């Protein structure tokens, strides 16, 4: 393929093709197509089509986003390590192929994995034709998989030193404040007060498990026939060891219910825009947030009575992430359309966090 037909983030298909021929089994190969699968909020993801002596196959390439990248974020080697460790566990991940730490190939480190069949369900349009039984089945799959992630024996799979565990929520609060300071482009009413409230209500340390860090329906590849099934959990760039309820809280932030469609976009209009919190779970049959939390509690035996705090923290974290993306958008470094919405969403997320905290019990 030609240099001019390459998507953003892959400046030289010829250079990438040469690296592929030298580093993947079955080389030499010809790189015949590159398609951007997802880009902007997370690491950039591409589907590659290659041909060689073994025929034509597809691979998936992951690299950091363009432009304003925050310290400690988008660590390719860390994500590769987590995926390697999870191979063979109850948590399905795409099989890995190779990793590259040489920035000269595409301008950043990257890794390759096998293409896994499955669809990403992000919007109401993606789920509107599901039966109620399928939607409920997907809800159960997501809850089961979250419990499986938090049940991984991190010592046995070699991830016992992935994070410090104890003090996780305090470190998270400090970390995301630093990220905000590095990202923010404007004064934001309610932000400082929110940080103060989160610090004042910080929960005591509980159990430490593997946490995904960005677990939601559209970070899972799913199939529906003959019944709903998760074929792979993706986007492990924020994975660490920490409080599992932080994962649950953020999942509930993304888990929108009927009537909440478009609340983070101007005028509530999502037509032609990128949804910040995807509205796929507003279709009939999906569980409510309360039902999802209750099933997680049943599966794990964990006390979720303070989940409101973790939900508020999830809104805070998402606000910081989107402010960073807003900064990249202003620099012209986002890949894709609809990123003008991200800056609009930040004050709404902060306001929602305040609302949730106000409803939280005062006792800790």
Instruction: Please write the tens of the pLDDT for every residue from 261-318.
Output: 777 765 545 433 344 556 899 999 999 999 999 999 999 999 999 999 999 999 999 9
| Domain end (from 64, 90, 114) | 114
Q: Are residues 133 and 96 in the same domain?
A: no
Give the phi and the psi of residue 77 in degrees, each rounded to 5.
Answer: -65, -35
Using 50, 70 and 90 to split pLDDT, how confident is the model at 182? confident
DSSP label of 230: E
Q: Are residues 214 and 320 in the same domain?
A: yes
Q: Are residues 107 and 231 in the same domain?
A: no
Q: Which two tokens stand for residue 162?
A: 């992935």
Q: State the pLDDT at residue 345.
A: 85
Q: Are residues 142 and 78 in the same domain?
A: no
What does pTM read for this prediction?
A: 0.90
**Helical pair 289-300 and 132-150, crossing angle rounded to 10 deg:** 40
Q: Is 210 exposed, middle or buried (0-12, 13-18, 19+ CB in 10 A)?
A: buried
Q: State the pLDDT at residue 270.
A: 46
Sign of CA dihedral 10, 13, 14, 15: positive
**CB atoms near residue 199 (< 10 Å):** 13
**CB atoms near residue 121 (< 10 Å):** 22
Number of domains within the chain: 2
Q: Are residues 34 and 154 in the same domain?
A: no
Q: Which two tokens stand for residue 132?
A: 């109620």
**CATH classification of the domain holding 238:** 3.90.1200.10
In our burial notation (b when 16+ CB lie closer than 10 A, e otherwise), range 320-349 reads bbbbbbbbbbeeebbbeebbebbbebbebb
Using 50, 70 and 90 to split pLDDT, how confident is the model at 326? confident
DSSP label of 219: G
Q: Are residues 141 and 214 in the same domain?
A: yes
Q: Is residue 233 part of a domain?
A: yes
Question: Which spans in the chain are helix H?
Answer: 13-23, 76-86, 124-127, 132-150, 168-183, 191-200, 244-254, 289-300, 307-330, 340-358
Q: What is the DSSP string of 92-119?
A: --PPEEEEE--TTTTSS-EEEEE----B
Q: State the pLDDT at residue 329.
A: 64
Q: Is residue 364 part of a domain?
A: no
Q: Is residue 351 part of a domain?
A: yes
Mean pLDDT across the chain? 88
Domain that holds residue 340: 124-358
Q: Are residues 156 and 175 in the same domain?
A: yes
d(CA 324, CA 343) in angstroms, rounded, equals 9
**CATH classification of the domain holding 59:** 3.30.200.20
**CB atoms near residue 112 (< 10 Å):** 22
Q: Are residues 43 and 107 in the same domain?
A: yes
Q: Is residue 119 part of a domain?
A: no
- Tell me how far the alpha carbon of residue 280 is from its chain's centroid: 15
Q: Is residue 363 part of a domain?
A: no
Using 50, 70 and 90 to split pLDDT, how confident is the model at 147? very high
| Domain end (from 114, 134, 161) | 114
95: phi > 0 → left, psi -120 to 50 → alpha, else beta; which? beta
Q: Are residues 47 and 129 in the same domain?
A: no
**Residue 40: pLDDT over 60:** no
Residue 164 · residue 130 · CB < 8 Å: no
Q: Are residues 218 and 314 in the same domain?
A: yes
pLDDT tens track for 108-140:
999 999 999 999 999 899 999 999 999 999 999
Q: Is residue 242 part of a domain?
A: yes
Q: Is residue 20 part of a domain?
A: yes
Q: Is residue 292 part of a domain?
A: yes
Q: Could you give the strand order of the β-sheet that contains 110-114, starting from the edge strand earlier in sequence?
A: 30-38, 44-52, 55-63, 110-114, 96-100
Using 50, 70 and 90 to split pLDDT, how confident is the model at 325? confident
d(CA 294, CA 12) in angstroms, rounded, equals 49
Residue whose entry in the numeric block shows the structure tokens 């987590």: 82
More confident residue, 26 or 52: 52
| Domain end (from 80, 114, 148) | 114
Mean pLDDT calculated for residue range 55-64: 93
**Residue 75: pLDDT over 80:** no
Q: Are residues 52 and 73 in the same domain?
A: yes
More confident residue, 104 or 329: 104
Q: Are residues 91 and 135 in the same domain?
A: no
Query: By mean pLDDT, which of 71-80, 103-112, 136-145, 347-356 is the weakest?
Result: 71-80
Q: State the pLDDT at residue 264.
A: 72
Mean pLDDT calculated for residue range 68-88: 79
**CB atoms near residue 23 (< 10 Å):** 14
């Amino acid at each position: 393929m030609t240099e001019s037909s390459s998507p953003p983030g892959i400046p030289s298909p010829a250079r990438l093709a040469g690296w592929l021929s030298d580093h993947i089994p079955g080389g030499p190969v010809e790189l015949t197509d590159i398609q951007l699968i997802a880009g902007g909020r997370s690491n950039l993801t591409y589907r590659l089509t290659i041909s060689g002596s073994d025929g034509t196959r597809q691979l998936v390439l992951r690299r950091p986003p363009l432009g304003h990248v925050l310290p400690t974020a988008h660590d390719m080697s860390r994500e590769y390590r987590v995926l390697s460790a999870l191979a063979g566990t109850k948590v399905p991940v795409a099989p890995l192929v190779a990793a590259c730490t040489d920035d000269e190939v595409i301008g950043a480190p990257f890794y390759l994995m096998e293409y896994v069949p499955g669809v990403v369900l992000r919007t109401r349009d993606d789920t509107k034709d599901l039966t109620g039984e399928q939607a409920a089945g997907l809800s159960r799959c997501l809850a089961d998989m979250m419990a499986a992630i938090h049940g991984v024996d991190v010592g046995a799979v070699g991830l016992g030193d992935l994070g410090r565990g104890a003090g996780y929520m305090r470190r998270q609060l400090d970390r995301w404040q630093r990220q905000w300071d590095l990202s923010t482009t404007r004064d934001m009413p309610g932000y400082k007060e929110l940080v103060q409230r989160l610090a004042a209500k910080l929960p005591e340390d509980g159990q430490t498990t593997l946490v995904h860090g960005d677990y939601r329906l559209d970070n899972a590849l799913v199939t529906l026939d003959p019944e709903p099934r998760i074929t792979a959990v993706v986007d492990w760039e924020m994975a660490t060891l920490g409080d599992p309820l932080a994962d649950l809280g953020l999942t509930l932030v993304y888990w929108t219910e009927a009537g909440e469609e478009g609340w983070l976009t101007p005028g509530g209009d999502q037509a032609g825009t990128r949804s910040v919190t995807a509205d796929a779970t507003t279709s009939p049959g999906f569980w409510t947030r309360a039902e999802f939390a209750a099933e997680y509690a049943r599966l794990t035996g964990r006390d979720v009575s303070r989940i409101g705090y973790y939900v508020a923290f999830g809104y805070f974290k998402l606000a910081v992430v989107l402010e960073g993306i807003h900064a990249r958008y202003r620099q012209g470094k986002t890949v894709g359309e609809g990123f003008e919405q991200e800056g609009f969403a930040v004050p709404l997320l902060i306001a929602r966090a305040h609302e949730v905290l106000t409803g939280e019990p005062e006792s800790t």
